[in-house]
Amino acid sequence: MTAPRLAAVALPVPLFTTFTYAVPPALAARVVPGARVVVPLRGGREVGIVTALDATLPEGVAAKPIADAPDAEPALTPSLLELARWIAERYATPVGLVLRAMLPTALAQASRAAPAGRETAVVAIARAFPTLMERDAFFKRSPAQRGLYESLEGMGGHAALTHLTGQLGIARTVITALEKRGAVRITRHASMRDPFAVRDRARGGDDGGADGAARLVPTDAQRAAVNALVASEPGEIALLHGITGSGKTLVYIELLRHVLEVQGKGAIVLVPEIALTPQTVDRFRAAFGDKVAVLHSALSDGERLDAWRALRRGERRIAVGARSAVFAPIADLGAVIVDEEHEASYKQGEAPRYHARDVAIARGRHEGAVVVLGSATPSLETWRAAQEGRARLLTLPMRAGAGALPRVEVVNLAAPHAPTVDPVRVALSEPLERAIGDTLARGEQVILLLNRRGFASFVQCPACGWVAECPNCSISLTAHKAPARWVCHYCQHQEAPAEACPRCATPVLQMRGLGTQQVERLVGERFPRATVARMDVDTTSGKWAHVEILDRVGRGEVDILLGTQMIAKGLDFPNVTLVGVIDADVGINLPDFRSSERTFQLLAQVAGRAGRGAKVGRVIIQTRAPDHHAVRCAMTHDYASFVRQELAARTSPAYPPEVQLANVLLSGEGQDDVARAAQQAADWLARLLATKKVAGLALVGPAPCPIERVEGRWRWHLLVKATDAPALTRVGRYFAERFKPDAAGVRVTWDRDPVSLL
Ligand code: ADP
Ligand code: ZN
Ligand code: ZN
């Protein structure tokens, strides 16, 4: 046998090509498909992945030699390579980008990765500044030190030294200077870096695992679901449709027990956002302890690498994580669980624009693992799959513990009210306010949902109607308090609030549209003795901020938890007996085909947070659209009726799951350029369909996007609707590889299976 002389290498460059390199004989043993190699590219070095050997070279081209092959074992298994090809095809994206997304950052960079599990230096805040004045005085002449200090605050008070000097680019001298002044401390930790160990310490270990999910006796429905899953064929897909509080987690745990102990295989558990679901993660840790690796977004690159290696070596058998954990390097994969499978966060918003649920299904099929899609409010796509027999439907129709589904009442805000100037009344109707008072009086807890952060959603001049808008986006600015700022939620542009209307000089501007900050204040005024915790993007920038707030709620230190959709997911607090939705209509009328589905899911999920213990729960939804089917079906806990109506609505005009969809987005700084490029793309695609006689595809548009401008870029789009999915894949690939708009600077994006059309 002679050693192959050439290797095809996919590189993380956005080109639809693999590069061919010569294999030096000394490296031949390590240069195998799936192996990482270091190769020369454009005067520098890049890490690539070998996709094939014995590639042929175009005539007259000399292949440069591979410089290094750093790993004894290939980084990616053959099945992950195959999965990468599938993703590249389906989402019309270069395979090199997919392969990079599959690897931990530390392995995808040419510079030497941080060695795993040695001593790490940690920089921690050592001094607090109780007032802004003290802080200003301390940092007066040292903005760089302030930047460092505030970055640390943002990360929960501490960070690895290498993270600060590496990713954040903070000079070592700044850190040393601040240490000398006593505001930070540098300590060294010998580590297997496991941030959940930090969490266990922070919780004092008192109630870690004490909830005893591992020791519960399954109900009949849970047992039936577990039995069906255990008996399923390799690669089979199951939809676990269990109402809120029906005990889906226990079904996952029992299945995993079988996979690990009987089959001797490993598993992946996907959760939408790990920071928001510490309770779920705790239950897996309580049941499986050290066999679990938690892939948290707050991991440093080194920590992520440690976890990845532990999984690759089989030291840990279960990967729990968000979207990208679907790529966890588990060798013998027995099961992939996608919890809350309807969540939009499973779709990646940048290339490769994969949907982790669909990747999970593909991976399960390739590797013969059972795939469980769990939800109380399944996506319409998954529901359709169950109806058509592509997924097996398993149902948990009752709450598992003592609880029953809560009663849901609707307060119609559009009904004629006595005219009121009471600002509290705008946020809290009489029934909701009374219910909060009663709940607090009984010593029980309240969850209030308002899916809009900030103080007021826009600022308007009462005289001329002027609205403060972002200079970069076609979006109104949101007013924030403490500190008072106008903020764009799309591009993060901020400005100081204007004193008067810039158009007509009217001195008083009106705050319109409630945000969470305002509700927090109003609730505080009305219930001064209650402890209110607010949970939204603005209060959770720190590494463990989510967990800290939720732990306080769990310990009963918080009476009212107020927040955006963050608080609607997975929370299980038996003493929460009232859920109030301040304004159900946020998002209901967005020009997006999924707005009703989203609204229903949000309402049904947040309603499901009430009455999960023995005490009866109650839900009050305030709305101006009490007859909307999303509101009505959430009120009666009637998923079946909701999907029936919503599926009917998706037939004309046709939207998923009736058709498959690609959203072709064009954006650029020149308004006319973008419009022209959009037309050019539409013409190009129309010609392609005609000349290649592609059936089963229809083009809609082009048209400006509902949000016409974001971050200074104008946006147009067109939709490709397909009844023939493979044809959509082929056309997408062809388009992504070949279409180039005439105008320079116009960016073209092919977004297959989009979760938002805004
Ligand atoms: P879901 O994810 O379906 O909303 P969870 O898995 O969070 O529900 O379970 C809801 C609650 O029911 C949890 O507090 C859990 O401990 C409890 N529970 C689950 N299964 C059982 C069981 N078989 N017996 C008693 N309590 C259970
Ligand atoms: Zn004005
Ligand atoms: Zn903006």
pLDDT digits (tens, 9 = 90+) for 145-160: 988 888 787 666 777 7
Partners of 697 in the β-ladder: 722
Contact 81, 8 (CB under 8 A): no
At residue 409, does pLDDT exceed 90? yes
At residue 722, does pLDDT exceed 90? yes
The answer to whether the CB of 248 is under 6 A from ligand 1 is: yes
At residue 610, does pLDDT exceed 50? yes
CA dist 653 and 129 (Å) reads 57
pLDDT at 207: 40
Give the percent of the chain with pLDDT over 70: 93
Question: Could you give the residue ranges of the DSSP H alpha helices within 155-238?
Answer: 161-165, 172-180, 195-202, 220-230
Contact 46, 54 (CB under 8 A): no
> What mean pLDDT comes out for the span 321-335?
95
The residue whose CA has the least distance to atom 14 of ligand 1 is 572
Give the Å distance between the CA of 594 and the centre of ligand 1: 29
Q: Which atom of ligand 1 is nearest to the CA of 211?
A: 16
Give the Å distance between the CA of 716 and the centre of ligand 3: 17
Give the Å distance between the CA of 426 and the centre of ligand 2: 24
At residue 533, does pLDDT exceed 70? yes
Q: For a substitution probing ligand 1, which of 249, 276, 571 has the most ligand atoms within 8 Å of its CB?
A: 249
One-character DSSP codes across 472-530: SSSSBPEEETTTTEEE-TTT--EEPPPSS-TTT--S-PEEEEE-HHHHHHHHHHH-TTS
When pLDDT is cut at 50, 70 and 90, the band that residue 422 belongs to is low
The answer to whether the CB of 217 is under 6 A from ligand 1 is: yes
The residue whose CA has the least distance to atom 5 of ligand 1 is 247
Ligand index nearest the alpha carbon of residue 462: 2
Q: What is the DSSP letter of 156?
A: T
Take residue 312 and report the two structure tokens written for it.
């690759």
When pLDDT is cut at 50, 70 and 90, the band that residue 209 belongs to is very low
Q: For a substitution probing ligand 1, which of 270, 569, 612, 637 has the most ligand atoms within 8 Å of its CB?
A: 612
When pLDDT is cut at 50, 70 and 90, the band that residue 120 belongs to is low
Give the Å distance between the CA of 468 and the centre of ligand 3: 11
The answer to whether the CB of 429 is under 6 A from ligand 1 is: no
Give the Å distance between the CA of 423 and the centre of ligand 2: 23
Take residue 254 and report the two structure tokens written for it.
């029992």
pTM: 0.85
At residue 189, does pLDDT exceed 90? no
The answer to whether the CB of 540 is under 6 A from ligand 1 is: no
Contact 512, 480 (CB under 8 A): no
Is 3 or 272 the better-scoring residue by pLDDT? 272
Q: Which atom of ligand 1 is nearest to the CA of 219?
A: 23
Q: For a substitution probing ligand 1, which of 216, 244, 372 has the most ligand atoms within 8 Å of its CB?
A: 216
Task: Give the CA angle between residues 350, 352, 358 to the nearest 5°.
Answer: 110
Give the Å distance between the CA of 469 and the centre of ligand 3: 8
The residue whose CA has the least distance to atom 10 of ligand 1 is 245
Q: Which atom of ligand 1 is nearest to the CA of 217?
A: 23
At residue 343, does pLDDT exceed 60? yes
The answer to whether the CB of 282 is under 6 A from ligand 1 is: no
Q: For a substitution probing ligand 1, which of 217, 248, 250 has the most ligand atoms within 8 Å of its CB?
A: 250
At residue 113, does pLDDT exceed 50? no
The answer to whether the CB of 242 is under 6 A from ligand 1 is: yes
Give the Å distance between the CA of 247 and the centre of ligand 1: 3
The residue whose CA has the least distance to atom 21 of ligand 1 is 400
Give the Å distance between the CA of 579 and the centre of ligand 1: 19
Contact 683, 720 (CB under 8 A): no
At residue 185, does pLDDT exceed 60? yes
Least confident window among 51-55, 247-251, 320-324, 733-737: 51-55
Which residues have CB under 8 Å from 265's CB, separation 6+?
259, 317, 332, 333, 334, 335, 369
Give the Å distance between the CA of 250 and the centre of ligand 1: 7
Q: Alpha carbon of 16 to those of 96, 98, 110, 411, 545: distances in Å? A: 8, 11, 21, 55, 41
pLDDT at 2: 53
Residue-averaged pLDDT of the chain: 89
Give the Å distance between the CA of 476 and the centre of ligand 2: 15
Question: Could you give the residue ranges of the DSSP H alpha helices within 611-656?
Answer: 629-635, 639-649
352 prior amide bond cis, ω within 30: yes
Q: Alpha carbon of 637 to those of 231, 312, 600, 605, 742: distances in Å? A: 31, 43, 10, 10, 52
> What mean pLDDT comes out for the span 372-387?
97
> What mean pLDDT comes out for the span 171-200?
72
Is 143 or 321 the better-scoring residue by pLDDT? 321
The residue whose CA has the least distance to atom 9 of ligand 1 is 247
The answer to whether the CB of 250 is under 6 A from ligand 1 is: yes
One-character DSSP codes across 438-460: HHHHTT-EEEEE-S--SSEEEEE
